[in-house]
Amino acid sequence: MHGGGDQEPAAAAVAAIRPARREEIGEVLALLALARTAAATTPDDERALTGVFERDAGALLVAELEGRLVGTLIATWDGWRGNMYRLAVLPDHRRRGVATRLVQAGHERLRALGARRITALLGDSDTQAASFWLALGYDHDEHVKRFVAEI
């Protein structure tokens, strides 16, 4: 029946979460550029993402909806703990559960690799991201300071 007022609204399409393919690096970089916040200080480039594939091909996760990448997350394992980097969702697809589904897929992946603890890295001034991670049950570790060196 078309055009009737009694129909239930169509269910929102759900993005499929999967490992990225090497040929999607350009599309992932474009997504990261569109979703980038002022808190992101390390550049995203082809060399870095190619390195992810070389070291851990399944670490780069993407959310795909109707043939378009709408989100991404790097969920990597260093043998000691899991780390979540570069969680990004296109602005017009936020608040639809894409980021949560990416993190859940990251958890599943890292748990299967042996991780018992996961660290999510985000900029200290990114309060929106902090609220997201807290809502997922992550704790703000006030006892750790991060020191970095550009090499």
Give CATH superfamily name and number for 16-135. Answer: Gcn5-related N-acetyltransferase (GNAT) (3.40.630.30)
Number of H helices, E strands in the chain: 4, 5
Q: Are 7 and 90 in contact (CB under 8 A)?
A: no
Confidence at residue 11, expressed as pLDDT on a 0 to 100 scale: 44
Position 102 scores a pLDDT of 96
The token duo for 2 is 């078309």
74 is written with which tokens? 């790097």
The domain spans of the chain are 16-135
pLDDT at 59: 96
DSSP code at position 38: T
Which pLDDT value is given to residue 8? 36
What is the residue type of 23? E
Per-block mean pLDDT, blocks of 10 residues, the chain (151 long)? 40 82 94 81 86 90 94 93 92 90 96 93 82 90 80 81
DSSP 92-122: GGTTSSHHHHHHHHHHHHHHHHT-S-EEE--
Cβ-contact 99, 89 below 8 angstroms: yes
Whole-prediction pTM: 0.85
pLDDT value for 12: 57
